Chains A and B, each alone.
Chain A
Amino acid sequence: MNELPQQLVNGLLLGAMYGLVAIGYTMVYGIVQLINFAHGEIFMTGAFGALTVYAYILPDGTSMWIALPLMLIGAIVVAVLVAMGAERFAYRPLRTAPRLAPLITAIGLSLALQQAVWAWYPDAKSARTFPQIPGGPFHLGSVTIQTGDIFLICAAPVSMAVLAYFVMRTRTGRGMQATAQDPDTAGLMGINTDRIIVVAFALGAAFAAVGGVAYGLKYGQIEFRMGFILGLKAFTAAVLGGIGNIYGAMIGGVVLGIAETLATAYIADIPGMDKFGSQSWADVWAFVLLILVLLFRPQGLLGERVADRA
């Protein structure tokens, strides 16, 4: 059996999830030049929001086909509220502070959110099981796709299309582009930059929430630490694709996901490399790739050369 198509699909799915989360990093960075390290935790709170809807609000035994849209709404509401709260109370007061201050704040916020879920969410001290979509896996030739992955396959492109439409066609979207280019001039042209920044945080959070639900459906469990590693990977994906570019975030995620999967699958088969091929080395290879890309294209795959602002 040729395992390449299956491994590519595995990587694509993993990458699509990285991409959904990476969009939040890239949008916030594009507009306020802040690397929001708490974004991984926003992804996590989104997943817990969905679980709350399923486990505590809906009656037991609700069909997943009814529950899923409601869970998605719950996830988005929770994640967006957390992100807007973070923006309002943690980042806005530091808007004019040196750039390192909000960065450190973001790291602190990330720990605070993790601990809050750990301490106050019922039974969240170890992993909680996440409801699954019933039904067997689907087979396309030699490729098997799980029911839980169908959500991700549909959600990632739809989300991207919605985002592209929003940024390119709507008034607020064009306002975002203007603010990203030059916040001061955009303000002078009558754009409410404060509002645009909130919208950027909220949109990023909504995508992270979709990613959080996808994570739960794919792996069947969520926990308070799930956002830490995934957030770092998503940030890597955003840098790989060109931070500030929303398409780059998705491309970067997919490239990273496929790189990790193929490294796990094939590096060990190269003669003399069997020691470096297992899954525990996949991250190493993913970062080797990141370094190579940044060496030759410092702006990332799709990034534009940023004007140096000294």
Chain B
Amino acid sequence: MRLRSLIAITAALAAGALTLTACGSRGGGDTGSSGSGSGGTTVVIGVDAPLTGDLSAMGLGIKNSADLAARNANKKNYVKGVTFKIEALDDQAQPSAGQQNASKFVADKNVLGVVGPLNSSVAESMQKVFDDAKLVEVSPANTGPSLTQGPDWQTKKVRPYKSYFRTATTDAIQGPFAAQYVYNDAKKRKVFVIDDKKTYGAGLASTFSAEFKKLGGQIVGTEHINPDTKDFSAVATKVKKSGADVVYYGGEYPQAGPLSKQIKAAGAKIPLVGGDGINDATYAKLAGPEAEGDLATSVGAPVETLPSAKQFVADYKAAGYKDDYSAYGGYSYDSAWAIIEAVKKVVDDNGGTLPSDARAKVTEAMQNVSFDGVTGKVSFDEYGDATNKQLTVYAVKNGVFEPVKSGTFTG
């Protein structure tokens, strides 16, 4: 009897483990190196991003860009008597890890602001922890609308947490923007919509679908993939059969790359369109040469073309970071700089020193921060969203995403 029940137990264990694909913790804290300024108080800016795993290309870009902002502030002695230091924690794109990191930041009294996270689902788990501690959080990359406008954002906007801000635009804008481009410029009429069921992917797919239908397009199929597998052959065959002339994917590049590859391999030579989550150099590497012409929208204007960003790109190169600044580099720099600006305001108002309730004051000051950043004018509306609503469509050309069209989304 022992034998068989052992098999039964392990089978049950296996089934359970399948749903918990997060395995073990890897890599603890990772302290960024910031140039040390002259004496005085040290203010720590926390960074939470996936520094390992699938999404690490974007995560490391966030960490390095925030680090660059701190270095520049120290070099210029931007806030007198305050030295900024970056402390980066790895969330592995897991909400549970993100929440642990949030508690760690809250426990460190020197942390006056946090840049991150990358994933909307991770942000959901962190918001309350930060808000209870009145610690300000500025995300360079979260696009889920409910993070700032509440779960019923489509009908009634209510800001859930006063301490959460973001420099990225929301899916409520990004999805429809993509739909307009696909319908009006690319002249596609039949779309197959796929998402990964995560906060970001599902949200993006639904806002895209709504706008595409409104424009008169047809949704010929929907599918939700399991982000833990790399075998999308069954889905690819369905896409081919549906007769769609374009695929919209709400999700991130580790799945989007193989998905695009397998859809084209199945014989459906149609472009895959995605959001900023697939806008990374790794995407084309994973999707192979047939990904030419695949599209991705991204928040803001292309960093390389903005005059304000030239300095950032040059500084980033000069600082000698090993990893690319990736899709969110400019936004991460601006997020960190927004925190620096808020700290400056608080210190100036308090006669040159940090007040005892610095965290609450910084959160308050953040609401009115306004400066010319890497990505343009940085300021926040009453929900904590960026007032800059610019977006850009990119297409894969010779294996890299090249900007095709920039614009602001209007209604």
Q: Which chain B residue lies CB-closest to A100? A: B6
**Cβ B24 vs Cβ A126 within 8 A:** no
CA–CA, A310 and B2, complex, Å: 6
- Chain B residues near A3 (CB-CB < 8 A): 237-238, 240-241
What's the nearest-Cβ distance from chain B to residue A219, in Å? 5
Say yes or no: is B56 at the interface (Cβ < 8 Å to chain A).
yes
A113-134 interface bits toward B, Cβ cutoff 8 Å, 1 = contact, 0 = none: 0110010000001110100100
**Cβ A1 vs Cβ B241 within 8 A:** yes
- Chain A residues near B241 (CB-CB < 8 A): 1, 3
Task: Kindly specify which of B184-192, B222-230, B307-315, B402-410 makes contact with the partner chain.
Answer: B222-230
- Chain A residues near B257 (CB-CB < 8 A): 221
**Cβ B225 vs Cβ A239 within 8 A:** no
- Chain A residues near B23 (CB-CB < 8 A): 111, 114, 225, 228
**Cβ A306 vs Cβ B225 within 8 A:** no
Q: Which chain B residue lies CB-closest to A232? A: B14
Residue in contact with A137 in the complex, picked from B57, B258, B265, B286, CB distance below 8 Å: B265
Say yes or no: is A235 at the interface (Cβ < 8 Å to chain B).
yes
Most buried by A among B1, B234, B235, B266: B234
CA–CA, A247 and B8, complex, Å: 21
Residue in contact with A261 in the complex, picked from B55, B224, B233, CB distance below 8 Å: B233
**Cβ B224 vs Cβ A279 within 8 A:** yes
- Chain B residues near A127 (CB-CB < 8 A): 54, 254, 282, 286
What's the nearest-Cβ distance from chain A to residue B177, in Å? 26
**Cβ A229 vs Cβ B8 within 8 A:** no
Number of A-B contacts (CB under 8 A): 137
Asked, given contacts A126-B53, A129-B285, A278-B223, whether A14 binds B233 with beta carbons under 8 Å apart, the answer is: yes
* Contacting residues of chain B (243-296) with chain A, CB-CB under 8 angstroms: 254, 257-258, 261, 265-267, 282, 285-286, 288
Say yes or no: is B368 at the interface (Cβ < 8 Å to chain A).
no
**Cβ B234 vs Cβ A11 within 8 A:** yes
Say yes or no: is B52 at the interface (Cβ < 8 Å to chain A).
yes
A137-176 interface bits toward B, Cβ cutoff 8 Å, 1 = contact, 0 = none: 1000000101000000000000000000000000000000
CA–CA, A265 and B11, complex, Å: 25
Task: Kindly specify which of A183-191, A196-204, A282-290 makes contact with the partner chain.
Answer: A282-290
**Cβ A229 vs Cβ B225 within 8 A:** no
Chain A: number of interface residues, binned into ranges: 35 or more
**Cβ B231 vs Cβ A220 within 8 A:** no
Asked, given contacts A260-B234, A280-B197, whether A236 binds B223 with beta carbons under 8 Å apart, the answer is: no
Say yes or no: is B107 at the interface (Cβ < 8 Å to chain A).
no
* Contacting residues of chain A (242-295) with chain B, CB-CB under 8 angstroms: 243, 260-262, 264-265, 278-283, 287, 290, 294
- Chain A residues near B54 (CB-CB < 8 A): 126-127, 223
What's the nearest-Cβ distance from chain A to residue B97, in Å? 15
Say yes or no: is A7 at the interface (Cβ < 8 Å to chain B).
yes
B294-323 interface bits toward A, Cβ cutoff 8 Å, 1 = contact, 0 = none: 000000000000000000000000000000
Say yes or no: is A298 at the interface (Cβ < 8 Å to chain B).
yes
**Cβ A6 vs Cβ B4 within 8 A:** no
Residue in contact with A243 in the complex, picked from B7, B14, B26, B197, CB distance below 8 Å: B7
- Chain A residues near B223 (CB-CB < 8 A): 264, 278-279
Asked, given contacts A7-B237, A127-B286, A309-B3, whether A221 binds B21 with beta carbons under 8 Å apart, the answer is: no
Residue in contact with A118 in the complex, picked from B52, B229, B265, B288, CB distance below 8 Å: B52
**Cβ B3 vs Cβ A239 within 8 A:** no
**Cβ B286 vs Cβ A283 within 8 A:** no
- Hey, which bits of chain B sit against chain A, CB under 8 A? 1-4, 6-8, 10-11, 14-15, 17-18, 21, 23-24, 26, 52-57, 197, 222-226, 228-235, 237-238, 240-241, 254, 257-258, 261, 265-267, 282, 285-286, 288
A-B contact pairs, 16 of them (CB 8 A): A10-B234, A35-B6, A126-B57, A126-B282, A129-B285, A129-B286, A229-B228, A229-B229, A239-B11, A261-B233, A264-B234, A265-B234, A283-B18, A287-B18, A290-B11, A306-B3
